[in-house]
Amino acid sequence: MSVLLLVLLLGTFLLGLLVWSICKHLLTTDVPSALKHPLKFRILHCIFIYVVTLGIILEKLRICSMPTFACFSMDIFFAKKKDPKVVVTDLRFGTISVRLFEPKAMSCSSRAGIVFYHGGAGVFGSLDSYHNVCLSLALETNSVLLSVGYRKLPYYHYPIIITDCLNATIHFLKRLKSYGVDPSRVVVCGDSIGGGVAALITRALLSHKDLPRIRAQVLIYPVTQFTNFQLPSAQQNRNIPFLTEELLMMCLCRYAAIDISWKDAILKGAFVPPETWEKYRKWLTSDNIPERFKNKYQETQFPGPFNEAAYLETKHMLDVQIVPILADDEIISHLPETFLVSCEHDILHDHTLLYKKRLEDQEVPVSWYHVEDGFHGCILLFGQKFFVFPCSEKILNAVVSYIKAL
């Protein structure tokens, strides 16, 4: 009897949580009218809210952490494809898990190499959830692809992601011949935080003269700065899944080990010292965003009144070593050819535009692909049958075309 009662209570709780997730989605979420398959989009976001909320509850009950539960759920949700034309091997480079994708077809010459860093804000994402994306990239470009399973939350914070990805990339670059990779055709690629990491890895490798030079960097809706959160896309897309302002701040504070109580100071820029803003404002203001992306933008006073306490708690977000866009001109000018992808309905849309201008000002060759019906995180849904979106396929096809043309 007690077991039956427990099951009944648990079922009631889970059902209530589902109803709450649906209500939260309907009351707080904006679904763009231009988005393809809006019902599918809503269903997927309700599931996402449900998983994250249940993870937070389990975390408060000290059963397991939210990131652990969310990643476990995602790995179950995203079914991994198998393709007899690609050999997939799980390896470890020291403490770092990696997955190698090697096309089986004979090649008369060495293949291109791709190093892929997955997104997920340091909270979500894994080798398994990005398996289909990496499999298709390796197969369609006939490249050897290394997917890096860097360590992340809840046990690892800033800057472990960067050091793990750099170490794994160096290990791979030193052994290209054993993988049949042409040293002159290595591309780094990533989405979201993985795109930001790709930019940082490319920059860091400039000082490693003993290693092959990166041929190109492919950055898919990347994180390129942690300073200005009042850009047009941040205002216009703050309630659009799958990266809302609320989720962005939660992930950022968790990754950077910052108490969430500093969220408002971060959003208003109150943590930015006046002299720092004067130094970097030319690269970080809305003046660098084309007018066509400012439809509902309202200029605000930024940064807000300086708060020294907030600065002391969050100053590592201004560290030049972890912010791609703040590198010196001399470093930016030596970066390789770059392919940038942005999505119209993405809170980070303007990060791509700011970085694009930064590169172009230093005459770095840049190709830009903008997805009108795209939203943040959509590439993760590639190959997921019912939950695939046209924008997911557009982005993957664009990246494939770019890499094949190198």
Q: Which residue among the candidates 346, 349, 350, 351 is catalytic per the annotation?
A: 346
Tokens of 3: 């077991």
Q: Is 107 one of the catalytic residues?
A: no
Question: Residue 355: which residues within 8 A CB-CB, separation 6 or more?
Answer: 199, 219, 222, 224, 324, 325, 340
Beta pairing, strands 337-345 & 366-375: parallel
Q: Which residues are registered as beta bridge partners of 190?
A: 117, 219
Instruction: Decide: 99 and 131 in contact? Cβ < 8 Å.
Output: yes
Q: Which residues are registered as beta bridge partners of 219?
A: 190, 340
Question: Residue 13: which residues within 8 A CB-CB, separation 6 or more?
Answer: none
Q: How far is Cα 245 from Cα 242, in angstroms, rounded to an integer?
A: 10
Q: Is 376 one of the catalytic residues?
A: yes
Q: What are the E-state strand segments in 178-322?
A: 181-191, 216-220
Q: Is 346 one of the catalytic residues?
A: yes
Q: Rg for the chain (alpha carbons), in Å?
A: 21
Please name which of 99, 98, 120 lies closest in space to residue 194, comparing C-alpha atoms.
120
Question: Residue 393: which residues within 8 A CB-CB, separation 6 or more?
Answer: 382
Q: Which residue among the candidates 21, 143, 192, 342 is catalytic per the annotation?
A: 192
Q: In what order do the strands lie in the sheet with 337-345?
A: 86-93, 96-103, 143-149, 111-117, 181-191, 216-220, 337-345, 366-375
Residue with tokens 């404002």: 281
Residue 55: exposed, middle, or buried by beta-carbon count in 10 A (0-12, 13-18, 19+)? buried
Side chain identity at residue 273, one-letter code: P
Instruction: Decide: 267 and 347 in contact? Cβ < 8 Å.
Output: no
Q: How far is Cα 145 from Cα 132, in angstroms, rounded to an integer?
A: 12
Q: Which residue among the candidates 118, 342, 376, 392 is catalytic per the annotation?
A: 376
Integer CA distances (angstroms), 390 to 35, 217, 397, in order = 10, 24, 11
Q: How far is Cα 13 from Cα 17, in angstroms, rounded to an integer?
A: 6
Residues classed as catalytic? 192, 346, 376
